[in-house]
Amino acid sequence: MDYIEKRDCDFRICTSCGGPILLPVRIKAPKKSDILLQAARHIIYISIHQARFLDEIRTDMIPFYEEEPEGHGQI
């Protein structure tokens, strides 16, 4: 809940190649077939394809991106 409240937006749980992923709706828009879950002042849209397999929303569903070190990848 803290993660969602700090970002102050709605989210969607959808399918990725690594399993279920939690993304802001501005990145992955909800679909009419999604299941809605109220989370404090926000909504979590859950893909109908993921809903049957989910028992809980876990932190490992939050994407993690490592930033490249300074100068890496520059020519």
Q: Does residue 40 fall inside a structural domain?
A: yes
Q: Which of 64, 69, 63 has the alpha carbon at shortest distance from 16?
A: 63
pLDDT tens digits, one per residue of 44-68: 999 999 999 999 989 889 887 655 5
DSSP result, 30-74 = --TTPEEEEETTEEEEE-HHHHTT-S---GGGS---PPPPTTTT-
pLDDT, mean of residues 22-29: 94
This prediction's pTM: 0.79
Contact yes or no for 22/13 (Cβ under 8 A)? yes
Higher per-residue confidence, 64 vs 39? 39
Q: Does residue 33 fall inside a structural domain?
A: yes
Total domains present in the chain: 1
Higher per-residue confidence, 17 vs 46? 46
Q: Does residue 73 fall inside a structural domain?
A: no
Helix (H) or strand (E) holding 22: strand 19-24
Domain holding 27, by residue range, is 2-56
Q: Does residue 27 fall inside a structural domain?
A: yes
